[in-house]
Amino acid sequence: MSENLKFENIYCVGRNFVGHAKELGNNIPTSPLIFQKSNSAVNIKETIEIPSHKIIEHELEVVLLIGKEGVPKNHEEAHTYISGFSTGLDLTDRHLQTELKKKGMPWFASKTFKGSAIIDANFIHEYECPQEFYLMVNQKIRQEGNLKDMIFSFEDIILHLSKIVDFKKGDIIFTGTPEGVGALERGDQIEMGFNNYPPKKLVVI
Ligand code: ZN
């Protein structure tokens, strides 16, 4: 890792962009929908290994790195818990997720297989997050996101989460995907990042 820091809990937000909630036929949530990936699912390498015989979809997301422990009390304080911004892919076994949803079961197995939490470990340490982010697959834009389209802001998410958990330094939050999710294929060349910042390049194997 580029920083002398160990990742702790991996929290994720579902349905945080109207466009994506609609493309999967879901309702718009009235409070942040939180789920988790296991810490062992983190992949910061340049390769994405997808399990064979599975259709794995990419969800491009802004990833927050939490820099301190405790419980923030308001929006300003919540913002100070963020020590870095990056992008990542919340890889999803959509077929399995749909089956689990139908059965009313947790999404866990569809969200946390080996290497399913792709993170660009080069976090940007600025006070504000860059507004626009993108995913290119084989030189073509696949997903584009703008923070202004988020249903719940980073601070909303942090305040909501802090009612449930105590943050640890090194916690990660995937903040939700814009529309355009789709399947990855072996050999795909991936580029992701914030506009006007160096991208993270990966290849699917
Ligand atoms: Zn996601």
Cα-to-centroid distance, 154 and ligand 1 (Å): 14
Ligand 1: centre distance to CA 59 (Å): 5
**Is 1 inside a domain boundary?**
no
- The Å distance, Cα 177 to ligand 1 centre, comes to 5
Query: What separation in Å is there between the alpha carbon of 79 and the centre of ligand 1?
Result: 21
**Based on the structure, what is the number of domains in the chain?**
1
- 5 in any annotated domain: no
Establish if 198 belongs to a structural domain.
yes
Q: What is the pTM of this model?
A: 0.95
Give me 159's structure tokens: 């305040």
Q: Would you state the pLDDT for residue 5?
A: 63
d(CA 61, ligand 1 centre) in Å: 7
Q: Is residue 133 part of a domain?
A: yes
* Domain presence at residue 33: yes
Phi-psi region of 76 (alpha: psi -120 to 50; beta: other; left: phi over 0): alpha
Q: What pLDDT does residue 151 have?
A: 96
CA of 91 to the centre of ligand 1 (A): 8
Please give the residue range of the domain that contains residue 41: 10-204
CA–CA separation, 28 vs 17, rounded Å? 8
Cβ neighbours of residue 44 closer than 8 Å, sequence gap 6 or more: 1, 118, 119, 120, 121
Q: In this structure, is residue 184 part of a structural domain? A: yes
For residues 143 and 175, give the distance between their C-alpha atoms in angstroms, rounded to a whole number: 15
Q: From ligand 1's centre to the CA of 62, what distance in Å? A: 10
Q: Which two structure tokens, joined as six digits, stand for 197?
A: 């910042």
- Provide the 10 A C-beta neighbour count for residue 32: 22
CATH code at position 30: 3.90.850.10
The alpha carbon of 74 and the centre of ligand 1 are apart by a number of angstroms equal to 25
Q: What value does the mean pLDDT of the chain take? A: 94
> 15: alpha, beta or left, given left = phi > 0 and alpha = psi -120 to 50?
left
Contact 13, 172 (CB under 8 A): no
pLDDT of residue 60: 98
Task: Establish if 87 belongs to a structural domain.
Answer: yes
* Average pLDDT of span 81-89: 98
Calpha distance 125→104 (Å, rounded): 39
Structure tokens at 127: 């006070």
Q: What is the mean pLDDT of residues 102-120?
A: 94
Task: Tell me what the mean pLDDT of segment 94-102 comes to.
Answer: 93
The mean-pLDDT minimum among 5-9, 72-76, 100-104, 188-192 falls in 5-9
Which pLDDT score is estimated for 2?
47
Q: Is 156 helix (H, G, I), strand (E, B) or coil?
A: helix
Give the distance (Å) from ligand 1 centre to CA of residue 77: 25
Instruction: Quote the DSSP letter at residue 40.
Output: G
4 within domain boundaries = no
The Å distance, Cα 18 to ligand 1 centre, comes to: 13
| Ligand 1 center from residue 174 Cα (angstroms) | 7
